[in-house]
Structure 1
């Protein structure tokens, strides 16, 4: 999978208002009502990651989930990252 140009990334991000591009990755932060809801979303996201064979760099502190996506093999952001971001958005949206 080939690395997207910065212009292509910025254009695609118009569909993902919760996400930003910096440090050669797309990033988002999601806040949940409590730790349980955050961890539940992470568990659901993990199943999507496995299905796509694509895994984020993420951290969770209590009710905050921070996610960074990039494709290490391509050394940047690819379509694969946006596909996973879309799945994450759908999971987070259901949680809200």
Structure 2
């Protein structure tokens, strides 16, 4: 993370970004947290990624979180409509503009 001169949201953060976010973590920060794991549409594509997810779930559980598994999102598969087409168009244009700005 850092400052992007073309991004108003980060431009003003210059000099205010901590070098290491871990100083803000609390050892018992996940106690009483309830974390849902949406599996449908997000898992099953890569054994390595699924293993990393399982390790992260175990770590959060070991740190005191209550894991709701699965906590699937019924509309997660609906991302193919008109708004997705707009996203794809804008992403391409913005990515091309970014790549054009590189030296």
The structure in which a higher percent of residues are strand is 1
Kindly indicate whether structure 1 or structure 2 has the higher relative contact order, using CA contacts under 8 Å at least 6 residues apart.
Answer: 1
- The higher radius of gyration belongs to 2
What range describes the TM-score normalised by the shorter chain of this pair?
under 0.3
TM-score, with structure 1 as normaliser: 0.26
TM-score, with structure 2 as normaliser: 0.25
